[in-house]
């Protein structure tokens, strides 16, 4: 039995083990805490605020043409910036917050050179790391007029602030 487990472990690429462990930890936290967190009025209101901020960022990304440019870059120029290793910036707690939003965490990495969370239709997470929320490659920075760039930074900044406040509140809640 033990040999089987060890064989199975050996089949999982070394690079995937850390994130798989964190995904398991997130599920282990979700089981006892998921419902309790949603029932807590303070956490629940922070979740709703974050949801609104994420929606505002997504709308701005769409309206300013970022989504279309990234889709084109990914499909026609092979230039996705969601590279392997970025998934290791994600803690079990941040993954737990994604589970609270009903997201399904992947079991496998789809492409060896891509982030574990990159799916066929883009990122499978709703609540993302600062690095993922505010990254704009040089090409996009040059493409956007400066007033749109400032406006986008303001909107994504609000998403990051709301995400940080929720993260700290969940950490404190579970710690208690």
Given the rule CB under 6 A, which residues bind ligand SF4? 69-70, 73-74, 79-82, 86-87, 115, 117-118, 123, 125, 128, 132, 136-137, 139-140
What b-and-e string marks burial along 148-166, b requiring 16 or more CB atoms within 10 Å of the CB? ebeebeebbebbbebbeeb
* Residue pair 162/49 in contact by the 8 Å Cβ criterion: yes
Rounded to a whole number of angstroms, the minimum distance from the CB of residue 28 to ligand SF4 is 21
Rounded to a whole number of angstroms, the minimum distance from the CB of residue 168 to ligand SF4 is 20
Given the complex with ligand SF4, which of 59 and 139 has the nearer CB atom?
139
Max CA distance (Å), the chain:
62
Given the complex with ligand SF4, which of 45 and 88 has the nearer CB atom?
88
Rounded to a whole number of angstroms, the minimum distance from the CB of residue 79 to ligand SF4 is 4
Partnered with residue 119 across adjacent β-strands are: 122
Given the complex with ligand SF4, which of 160 and 173 has the nearer CB atom?
160
Pick from 72, 17, 88: which is nearest to 8 by CA?
Answer: 17
* Residue pair 38/174 in contact by the 8 Å Cβ criterion: no
Question: CA triplet 103, 107, 109: central angle to 5 degrees?
Answer: 105
Rounded to a whole number of angstroms, the minimum distance from the CB of residue 116 to ligand SF4 is 7
Rounded to a whole number of angstroms, the minimum distance from the CB of residue 115 to ligand SF4 is 3
């Amino acid at each position: 039995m033990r040999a089987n487990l060890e064989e199975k472990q050996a089949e999982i690429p070394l690079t995937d083990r850390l994130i798989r462990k964190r995904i398991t930890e997130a599920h282990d936290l979700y089981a006892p805490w998921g419902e309790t967190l949603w029932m807590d009025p303070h956490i629940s209101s922070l979740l709703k605020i974050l949801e609104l901020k994420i929606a505002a960022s997504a709308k701005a990304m769409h309206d300013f043409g970022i989504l279309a440019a990234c889709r084109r870059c990914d499909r026609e120029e092979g230039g996705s910036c969601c590279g392997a290793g970025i998934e290791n910036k994600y803690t079990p707690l941040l993954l737990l917050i994604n589970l609270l939003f009903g997201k399904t965490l992947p079991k496998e990495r789809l492409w060896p050179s891509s982030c574990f969370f990159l799916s066929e239709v883009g990122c499978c997470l709703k609540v993302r790391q600062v690095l993922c929320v505010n990254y704009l490659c040089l090409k996009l920075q040059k493409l956007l007029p400066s007033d749109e760039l400032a406006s986008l930074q303001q909107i994504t900044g609000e998403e990051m602030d709301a995400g940080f406040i929720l993260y700290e509140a969940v950490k404190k809640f579970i710690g208690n």
